[in-house]
Structures are given as structure tokens and as C-alpha cells.
Amino acid sequence: MRRTANILRPRRLRRIRDLHDPGGALKISPETVSVTLDSRKHVSHPQLGCLLNFSCRPVFALCVLCLLCVYSSGCAARKAPAQPSETPAETSDAAKRSTAVDASDMPSASAPSTKHNKPAAAPASSGYTEEGNASWYGVPFHGRHASNGEIYDMYKLTAAHRTLPFETMVRVTNLNNGKSTVVRITDRGPFVDNRIIDLSLAAAREVDSVGPGVVPVRVEVLGGVDPTAGFFTLQVGAFRDRANAERLRDSLNASYSPIFIQQYDSPDGVFYRVRVGRISGEDAARQFGEQLHDRDGFTPLVTRLDEGLPAGGNR
């Protein structure tokens, strides 16, 4: 028996050397090997005989160990993702420079549309104020020439004043409700003793004076205008009949000079206004008006003498 084992040992070792070559890949015969594991189970599979043969245990252990190492390395590669490598400083700086946006290239915010912008604020008050009654006028003066030569538009914020220069901006405040508006002087009037300004329809709506017709107001001159400078005259009468105007002129000719008749074409017909004097400064004109009142019983209306402009005025 021992002799038989000795005889078989070289053959077994030769077979192991054939199966495993240390210098090359693992070689296994493709033939089918059958082994009996026990009396109850028989397994037949290619290449399994050598693996289950006790004489192949070293080779079997080596193969299992290699398979485990390969499997473990594959699972580790799948389960543990590679960590990103740190970007070199010079590469990072280059990337920042390539993605940086110059502020000058950024689109600027769109300015609001000028169509919806609010009108410019009114200039500060010049310090000249007066209080009195304000009336308003619309049709039939709408579309006719104003005293400054332009066509009167009752839907614009304008007004008539007897003494303020044309184009003067004034703030008019309704003393009954505190509402105010800013208007431009374009006309002469009102030629009624107890009123100081005539508003356009648009301006009257601003201060809620359309319904009442006449309301107490405060007038403030805006901007650097001197409303008292210039030449003034005093209106002592207005007549539909020119003959009446001429008779008054002749009666005053002996005491005052100059005296002239100014024709005004109104929607109600032609009026002839009798005016006295050409006085420098509003204050001097008012003093002269007091003299006319005391001496001759007139109640004159001081008005600015707009030389070189067509005669006009609203009432």
C-alpha cells in the first residue's frame, strides 16, 4: 500500500505541475470530472473534480483567494466613487478669469418711460402774494385769442391776471378747501373790481371752483419774477358805444395825460375801454388810482400796459 502511494505521488505532483504553471496563467483541463461526495449525492461538473480533490487543496485555496481579491476590488470600485482631485491654483485662477463678467458689459436697468414721468416741480415762491376772489372762464372764450396773442385753451392750466407779466407761473390756492394748482399767466382780466384772477376751466377743476363760480383764493408768484416792474395804466371805463368812450376821454383830457381808448373784441361784441396814464411801477400806479378815486369818484382798475401786443382781455 505504501508502495502504491509512492508510485502514485510523482504522477499526482506531475498533474499539479501541469495544472499550475508558476510562470503562466492557470490551466485547467476542460474534461468533465466526477467525484462522489458521499453516498447520497453525486456531483458532476467540468473542472470541479480537481477543485474538490484533496490533492488540489493548495491550488483551490490559491484560486479562491485570487477570486476574492478580484471580487473585492471590483465592489470597492463600484461602491466608493473616486474623490475629485484638487484643482491647481493656476488652473482655478484661469477659470475665474474666463468666467468673470466686466461690470461695463452688464445691461443697465431701464429708465422709467418718460411718458409717465411726473411734471417738474414748480419753482419756489418769489414772496409776492395776494388774496382775493377768483372766477373762471371757458366757453365762449375757448378758441379765441388771449391777450398774449396765443389761442386760449380752457383745458390747459392757464389764467388771466391784470398786472402780472405774461408767462408768470403762479400757485393758486382755494382758501375754502386748501386745494391748489399752478397756472401760467396768458391773458388779462378779470375787469371786475372784486376779483383778482380768472382761471381756465382746467385750473378751476383743480381747485373745485367750477360749481361755486367765485371762490376766495391766495395767489403766490413763483420763480424770480418782479411783478411790480414795468409800465401800468388805469382803466376808468368800458363802453359798447364808442361815442360814450370819447366823451369820457375828452372830459379827462384837461387834467390827465395820456388818455387813450382801447378797442376790445369780445364774444359779446366790441367794447371801448378808456385808460389813463403810463406809469412806471405798480405801486405808483395804485397811488395814482387812489387820486382818481378821491378827486373824480372813479374806481379804476390797475392793469399792466402790454405795449406792442394786440389789445385783449377776457372781461
User: So what's the pLDDT on residue 224?
Assistant: 85
Read off the pLDDT of each residue in 263-288 and give the average, rounded to a whole number: 95
- Distance from C-alpha of 143 to C-alpha of 153, rounded to nearest angstrom: 6
Tell me: pLDDT of 244 over 70.
Answer: yes
Q: Which residue has the higher pLDDT, 180 or 120?
A: 180
- pLDDT, position 283: 96
Asked if 314 and 185 touch (Cβ cutoff 8 Å), the reply is no
Pairing of strands 259-266, 42-46: unpaired
The helix/strand/coil state of 173 is: strand
Q: Is 141 among the domain residues?
A: yes
In one-letter notation, the amino acid at residue 127 is G
- From 138, 267, 146, select the one nearest 201 (Cα to Cα): 138
What mean pLDDT value characterizes the chain?
74
pLDDT above 90 for 137: yes
Q: Are 210 and 204 in contact (CB under 8 A)?
A: yes
The least confident of 34-38, 126-130, 158-162, 283-287 is 34-38
Contact (Cβ atoms closer than 8 angstroms) between residue 217 and residue 172: yes
> In degrees rounded to 5, what are phi and psi of residue 259?
-130, 135
* Residue at which a domain ends, from 194, 222, 250: 222
AA identity, residue 250: D
Helix (H, G, I), strand (E, B) or coil at 192: coil
Three-class SS state of 109: coil
C-beta separation of 238 from 265 below 8 A: no
Domain of 236, CATH number, reads 3.30.70.1070
Tell me if 94 is assigned to some domain: no
Q: Is the pLDDT of residue 215 over 90?
A: yes
DSSP state at residue 118: P
* pLDDT higher than threshold 50 for residue 261: yes
Cα separation of 274 and 256, whole Å? 12
In the chain, pLDDT over 90 holds for what percent of residues?
54
Taking residues 65-84, report their average pLDDT. 48
**Which pLDDT value is given to residue 83?**
45
- Predicted confidence at residue 61, as pLDDT, reads 57
| CA nearest neighbour of 161 among 122, 188, 134, 181 | 188
237 and 291, same structural domain?
Answer: yes
DSSP lists the bridge partners of residue 140 as: 138
What's residue 310's pLDDT?
Answer: 52
Confidence of residue 262 (pLDDT cuts 50, 70, 90): very high
Question: In the prediction, which pLDDT does 58 show?
Answer: 55
List of residues 6+ apart from 282 with CB closer than 8 A: 163, 227, 228, 230, 232, 302
Among 58-62, 90-94, 122-126, the range scoring the smallest mean pLDDT is 90-94
* Amino acid 78: pLDDT: 43
The residue with greater pLDDT, 291 or 2, is: 291
What's the Cα-to-Cα distance from 260 to each of 2, 238, 256, 284, rounded to whole Å?
A: 167, 12, 11, 19
Judge whether 262 and 227 are in contact, CB under 8 Å: no
For residues 172 and 131, the answer to whether their CB atoms sit within 8 Å is no
Place of cell 449525492: 41
Asked if residue 111 is part of any domain, the answer here is no
CA distance 184 to 153: 12
pLDDT value of residue 307: 76
Please report the pLDDT score of residue 193 as a whole number: 87
Domain boundary among 13, 43, 76: 76
Q: Looking at 12-26, 92-106, 253-267, which range is the least confident one?
A: 92-106
The whole-number average pLDDT for the span 290-308 is 92
Q: Are 133 and 203 in a shared domain?
A: yes
Q: How confident is the model at residue 68 (pLDDT cuts 50, 70, 90)?
A: low
Question: Is residue 65 located within the same domain as residue 129?
Answer: no
Per-residue cell: 260: 387813450
What does the pLDDT read at residue 133? 98
Are the C-beta atoms of residues 184 and 200 closer than 8 Å to each other? Answer: no
Cell digits of residue 306: 402790454
278 within domain boundaries: yes
pLDDT at 217: 98
Whether 229 has a pLDDT exceeding 70, the answer reads yes
Q: Indicate whether 215 and 265 sit together in one domain.
A: no
Asked which of 222, 245, 264 is the last residue of a domain, the reply is: 222
CATH code, domain carrying 133: 2.40.40.10
CA distance 307 to 315: 19
Domain count, the chain: 3
Confidence of residue 123 (pLDDT cuts 50, 70, 90): low
Domain interval for residue 42: 2-76
pLDDT for residue 148 is more than 70? yes
**182-194 confidence digits (pLDDT tens):** 999 999 999 998 9
179 and 237 inside one domain: no
CA distances from 229 to 8, 195, 232, 234 (A): 145, 22, 9, 15
Cell of 152: 386760449
DSSP letter for 260, please. E
Span of 42-46, 61-65, 242-246, 301-305 with lowest mean pLDDT = 42-46
